């Protein structure tokens, strides 16, 4: 967050930083923000910080709790009852109104920056940098990464209550509607030339509709999540195959269940001679195959609109 407390009073600024910290702790993700003159209560919320001197040079990067001791080792003791954040900012500030004072400030800043980059020659070395902490973090084992990705995808599906309810109603309603459109396929009647044509058309429409529902659901999925996935892969949190496998494990059973519901309702309302298990298995397999096609199209395109444009002719 770039200066999230700018323009806020001290109490509101503290509340904003607290909300950011709670969100980061709850989700287990890092939170990086830029602060200018944070009050003492905000300072105590920080885990680590980077102190920049004029020109963007790093004067300190490490744990907050170690900072006071580190600067004391350089000869800059933080006074009692003084906010350390304000004290550190003063250490790297230059009084441009007084040339003599400005020269003293620049000399002090140069000494602090040099000591940090030299590892604190003859003094306590600077704490580990944030970059060092990030690169030293070990990756979780593959099975744990896959499980975490699967749980996230599963929760995303469970949150889409309205979409799942609509798909449920569409699957069962479409089966009833098609049974009414093709009255020649009724229970107990002997096959005729007209009924054979109706049965063929009914099965064809069933395959097309189930395939389209699965394809449209998965085709734009990668486009919606691309920015998140790219950012997480830049941090080497997981690989592309792991993400794809988790998505398939979460999406395929759900898609197949809607096809199974459609097949059961269609079998109950019509006189199709095909067995229930065969009808359910065939439509579920078609749905899974088209969902896989949707994943392939989505991963090969740059956004949702392009995926829809490319996927429709392929279907």
pLDDT band at 195 (very low <50, low <70, confident <90, very high): confident
The mean-pLDDT minimum among 80-84, 85-89, 119-123 falls in 119-123
pLDDT of residue 281: 93
Segment 186-195 mean pLDDT: 70
Predicted local confidence at residue 127, as pLDDT: 46
Work out the percent of the chain whose per-residue pLDDT is above 90: 18
Express each pLDDT in 206-241 by its tens digit.
999 898 888 888 887 877 887 788 777 776 788 888
| pLDDT over threshold 50, residue 120 | no
For the whole model, what pTM was predicted? 0.55
Mean pLDDT of the region 79-87: 86
Averaged pLDDT, 165-193: 83
The pLDDT of 66-95, averaged and rounded, is: 87
pLDDT one-digit tens code per residue, 246-305: 999 999 999 999 999 999 999 998 888 889 999 999 999 999 999 888 888 888 887 777
Residue 277 has a pLDDT of 93
CA distance 274 to 269: 13
Q: How confident is the model at residue 189 (pLDDT cuts 50, 70, 90)?
A: low
Q: Mean of the pLDDT values across residues 20-41?
A: 83
pLDDT at 286: 92
Report phi then psi at 279, rounded to 5. -65, -45
CB 23 within 8 A of CB 55: no
pLDDT of residue 191: 67
Q: Give the Å distances, CA to CA, from 312 to 174, 201, 212, 220, 306.
A: 21, 21, 9, 12, 10
Average pLDDT score, the chain: 83
Q: How much of the chain is helix, strand and coil, in % rounded to 5?
A: 65, 5, 30
Separation of alpha carbons 119 and 73, rounded Å: 12
What is the model's pLDDT at position 285? 94
Q: What are 61's strand-pairing partners?
A: 50
pLDDT at 134 (0 to 100): 40
Q: Which of 174, 203, 198, 213 is nearest to 274 (CA)?
A: 203
């Amino acid at each position: 967050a770039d200066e999230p407390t700018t323009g806020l009073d001290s109490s509101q600024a503290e509340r904003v930083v607290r909300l950011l910290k709670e969100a980061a702790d709850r989700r287990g993700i890092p939170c990086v923000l830029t602060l200018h003159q944070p009050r003492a209560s905000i300072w105590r919320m920080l885990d680590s910080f980077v102190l920049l001197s004029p020109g963007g040079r790093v004067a300190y990067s490490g744990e907050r709790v170690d900072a006071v001791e580190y600067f004391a080792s350089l000869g800059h003791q933080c006074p009692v009852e003084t906010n350390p954040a304000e004290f550190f900012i003063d250490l790297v500030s230059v009084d441009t109104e007084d040339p003599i004072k400005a020269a003293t400030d620049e000399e002090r800043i140069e000494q602090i920056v040099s000591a940090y980059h030299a590892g604190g020659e003859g003094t306590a070395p600077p704490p580990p940098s944030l970059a060092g902490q990030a690169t030293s973090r070990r990756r979780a084992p593959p099975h744990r990464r896959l499980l975490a990705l699967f749980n996230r995808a599963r929760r995303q599906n469970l949150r889409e209550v309205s979409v799942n309810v609509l798909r449920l109603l569409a699957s069962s309603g479409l089966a009833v509607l098609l049974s009414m459109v093709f009255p020649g396929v009724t229970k107990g009647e002997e096959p005729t030339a007209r009924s054979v044509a109706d049965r063929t058309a009914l099965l064809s429409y069933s395959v097309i509709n189930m395939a389209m529902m699965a394809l449209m659901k998965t085709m734009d999925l990668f486009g919606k999540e691309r920015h998140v996935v790219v950012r997480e892969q830049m941090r080497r949190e997981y690989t592309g195959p792991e993400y794809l496998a988790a998505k398939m494990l979460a999406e395929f059973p759900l898609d197949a269940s809607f096809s199974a519901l459609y097949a059961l309702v269609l079998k109950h309302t019509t006189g199709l001679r095909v067995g229930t298990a065969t009808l359910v298995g065939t439509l579920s397999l078609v749905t899974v195959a088209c969902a896989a096609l949707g994943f392939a199209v989505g991963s090969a395109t740059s956004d949702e609109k392009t995926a829809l444009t490319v996927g429709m002719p392929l279907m």
